[in-house]
Chain A
Amino acid sequence: MKQSKSRPLTREQVDQFGAELDALHTRVRDDLGQHDADYIRRVFAAVRYTEAAGRVLLYCWFLPPLWVLGVLLLGLSKILDNMELGHNVIHGQFDWMNDPYLRGRDWEWDIVATGDNWRETHNFRHHTYTNIKGMDDDIGYGLLRLFPEQRWRPFYLFQPLVAVIFALLFEWGVAIQDLRLGRYFKGKMAPGEMAAAFRPVGRKMRRQMIKDYLVFPLLGGPLFLPILAGNALANIMRSLWTYMIIFCGHFTADVDVFPKSVMNGESRGQWYLRQIRGSSNLRGGKLFHILTGNLSHQIEHHLFPTLPANRYGDIAPEVRAICRRYGVHYNTGSLWLQFGQVIWRILRYSFPSKPVPVNRVRLLAE
């Protein structure tokens, strides 16, 4: 097993490193204004227009190219709603605008997962305990083995198949992530408790199902089936895309996972360091970044999850320069390179591997 690509730093270096990032954060925070407000409203408008156009075109079943375009537009709308709009607003990135319609705490999105569950599993657990084994459920989502640090079980032999099914149904996986079904099946959770936890999730699922698979298809009368199929395809398209982007953020070849012990007395600088070492970026053009919800700037996002995502691209060169000065590996690559590495991990770790020592990952030099 190869060593981490980042060199350990002394405590003073880590503190300086953190201070530089803090200063960058403050500078961007002070510069937010009309430009950023206009940006997120344009994204909101783009979601609305693509959805409307997509849904209308789905009724053009008799002109197949238009129907296909409808599926693509609806899928695009759901991707934008999910990533550049929903994910970012839910982080509270636009709370500074004080617009009641763009508040992180209250935001709900067009996906079967509830905003509340996402706030818990993603905003809190994943972003606070990023890549800490046993704390960050996003490591394999309790379903996949992606790191040698995870214990191998025979079930993982089916992992390549499981990973594909998981990708197709990703929005459903996200929806039930916070229920921690694993604990339930192990008998660590009472049925009543599970039922109570499931109620809001079930309500959201029902709402989404009725909307996409009943109301809109019924509006099409005899076109019920093509419209239902169009909605299903658009949802699958969104699931595949979000799965691919999200997996590229933390499961590429050079990212580190950490033992729980890193949390003991972790300073701000160390926290920043862990975020960078646990994340990987994607290279691409402007449109690509928007379609990924700027999660292509996963490193910047993990450093500053509450800064508006449209700023990540601007600060990326500075973050990278800071990393270079401190010898911290800045993990970036094209989508195909990074996703190739993810696929390699899915295949490789479906098989047993040599156990690795827990303290392979060292943040501090002493």
Chain B
Amino acid sequence: MSDGVLHKAMAPLVAPPVFDFWVQKINRTLSWERPLARVVGREVTARGTVTLTLKANRHFRGYAAGQHVPVSVEVDGVRLTRTYSPVTPWQGDRRLAITVREVDGGKVSAALVHALSVGDVVELGPAFGDMVLPDGGASRPWLLVAGGSGITPLMCLARALLAENPSADITLMMWARERADLCFSGTFADLRARHPNLRVLPVLTRESRCLPNELSGRPGAELFAAQVPDIATRAVRACGPWGFVETVSSLLAPIAADFDSECFTPPPRATQAGEAVTVTLLRSERQVQVPAGAPLLESLEEQGVQPAYGCRMGVCNTCVCDKRAGTTEHVYNSEQHAEAGPVRLCVNAARSDITLDL
């Protein structure tokens, strides 16, 4: 289904869940309006890491290299969404590849790495992220700095640069604990053979003995100075866990020609009851401060926001509202919930900064 004239004309007559039910008997990625993708390839790219190739339906609008795509899967009946960064630039064939590393105790990463197989269907969301290439970027020198699975958007950037300019000057430093954790070794060997100005430097923090082409140690000023003496001329992009990106940013942002970064784990933030948290209201385009631990409906009303409500005791579902991010806590049984999804404002309190579709 394209979003064309026919689609618009038929919209009032179609109940999307019913439409999807029937067309998915033919093909499980057909949908009235949801961006679905089928797993068409699966490859183990490092220890505990797989690269999944997905073929998206026509509702997925693509992405720019360096952006990230929300991926939803159902785990034990609950639809969970996490963000992944495609590792290949978006082309006309509607395919994207994501590389997922299993996180300890992680729900979605475990499902993607272990449970998903070729033929399964996942849902995608609209791509986002600002770490994209500037116009004419392929003609300047680059330093890409990756920590762990943060290699993914940088891999995409490198491929996009090389596609535009096969002799682009790119240095890529990728940190991992041990050699077995390094992704894309084969791909890099392949790329280096064709692109003389691509330099790939694996840096290992826990490997006992390094090979000639490998480095060891954590990110530090000396390491960068030794490996990338011309840093002042380079545009730097860094990606990885929050702590890693903080370190790299403090070292390189002041001295590089240009610096941008993205982190995969948000900074940890615990809140005590009573502490102020920020509620971002997407539809009303507002932000308000409310006390953590207090029922959201009351707190929002005190801030002059007027959500629809009914029973005010968790029965009628009138005040239910889509939580896009953040942790909430049920006021009756103190259970915390960190996943996106519908929450009843009258019986849930914020336990972190949260974003509501309100």
Q: Which residues of A contact B (CB under 8 A)?
A: 22, 26, 30, 32-38, 44-45, 48, 90-92, 95-101, 103-105, 108, 119-120, 123-125, 127-128, 268, 271, 305-306
Q: Are B317 and A92 in contact (CB under 8 A)?
A: yes
Across the two chains, which residue of chain A brings its CB closest to B74?
A37
Q: Are B34 and A98 in contact (CB under 8 A)?
A: no
Residues in A whose Cβ lies below 8 Å from that of B17: 44, 101
Across the two chains, which residue of chain B brings its CB closest to A128?
B311
Across the two chains, which residue of chain A brings its CB closest to B340?
A98
Q: Identify 5 new A-B residue pairs, CB closer than 8 A, beyond the known A119-B317, A123-B310.
A: A33-B78, A98-B78, A105-B320, A123-B317, A128-B310
**Pairs A–B under 8 Å by Cβ, sample size 30:** A22-B333, A26-B333, A33-B76, A34-B77, A44-B17, A44-B21, A92-B342, A95-B317, A95-B342, A96-B78, A97-B74, A98-B79, A98-B341, A99-B74, A99-B79, A104-B342, A105-B317, A105-B320, A119-B318, A120-B318, A123-B315, A123-B316, A123-B318, A124-B318, A127-B311, A128-B310, A128-B311, A128-B316, A305-B315, A306-B317
Interface flag for B225 (CB, 8 Å) = no
Interface flag for B220 (CB, 8 Å) = no
Q: Are A95 and B341 in contact (CB under 8 A)?
A: yes
Known: A101-B16, A101-B17. A26 touches B78 (CB 8 A): no
Residues in B whose Cβ lies below 8 Å from that of A127: 311, 315-316
Across the two chains, which residue of chain A brings its CB closest to B321?
A105
Known: A22-B333, A37-B77, A123-B310. A45 touches B21 (CB 8 A): yes
What string of 1s and 0s marks CB contacts (under 8 Å) between B54-97 and chain A? 00000000000000000000101111100000000000000000
Q: How many whole Å from A112's CB to the nearest CB in chain B?
A: 15
Known: A32-B77, A35-B77, A108-B15. A101 touches B317 (CB 8 A): no
Residues in A whose Cβ lies below 8 Å from that of B148: none
Across the two chains, which residue of chain B brings its CB closest to A37?
B77
Q: Are A128 and B77 in contact (CB under 8 A)?
A: no
Q: How many whole Å from A336's CB to the nearest CB in chain B?
A: 31
Q: A26 vs B79: C-alpha distance in the bound complex, in angstroms?
A: 21
Q: How many whole Å from A131's CB to the nearest CB in chain B?
A: 14
Q: How many whole Å from B20's CB to the nearest CB in chain A?
A: 7
Would you call the interface of chain A mostly helix, strand, loop, or mixed?
A: helix
Interface flag for B246 (CB, 8 Å) = no
Residues in A whose Cβ lies below 8 Å from that of B318: 119-120, 123-124
Across the two chains, which residue of chain B brings its CB closest to A23?
B333
Residues in A whose Cβ lies below 8 Å from that of B332: 22
* Partner pick for A97 among B34, B78, B314, B335, CB 8 A cutoff: B78
Q: How many whole Å from B258's CB to the nearest CB in chain A?
A: 39
Residues in A whose Cβ lies below 8 Å from that of B317: 90-92, 95, 104-105, 119, 123, 306
* Partner pick for B21 among A30, A48, A99, CB 8 A cutoff: A48
* Partner pick for B342 among A36, A105, A125, CB 8 A cutoff: A105
Q: Are B316 and A98 in contact (CB under 8 A)?
A: no
Residues in A whose Cβ lies below 8 Å from that of B342: 92, 95, 98, 103-105
Q: A138 vs B54: C-alpha distance in the bound complex, in angstroms?
A: 51
In the A-B complex, list the 10 residue pairs whose CB atoms are closest, starting with the nearest: A37-B77, A124-B310, A98-B341, A92-B317, A128-B311, A124-B316, A101-B17, A33-B76, A95-B342, A123-B316
Q: A100 vs B341: C-alpha distance in the bound complex, in angstroms?
A: 9
Q: How many whole Å from A177's CB to the nearest CB in chain B?
A: 16
Q: Are A98 and B339 in contact (CB under 8 A)?
A: yes
Q: Are B320 and A92 in contact (CB under 8 A)?
A: yes
Q: A268 vs B333: C-alpha distance in the bound complex, in angstroms?
A: 13
Across the two chains, which residue of chain A brings its CB closest to B15?
A108
Contacts of B8-27 to chain A: CB distance below 8 A: 15-18, 20-22
Residues in B whose Cβ lies below 8 Å from that of A99: 74, 79
Contacts of B312-358 to chain A: CB distance below 8 A: 313-318, 320, 332-333, 335, 339-342, 344
Q: Are B320 and A104 in contact (CB under 8 A)?
A: yes
Known: A123-B318, A306-B315. A33 touches B310 (CB 8 A): no
Q: A312 vs B198: C-alpha distance in the bound complex, in angstroms?
A: 63
Q: A176 vs B80: C-alpha distance in the bound complex, in angstroms?
A: 39
Across the two chains, which residue of chain B brings its CB closest to A32?
B77
Residues in B whose Cβ lies below 8 Å from that of A306: 314-315, 317
Q: A128 vs B311: C-alpha distance in the bound complex, in angstroms?
A: 6
Across the two chains, which residue of chain B brings its CB closest to A100?
B34
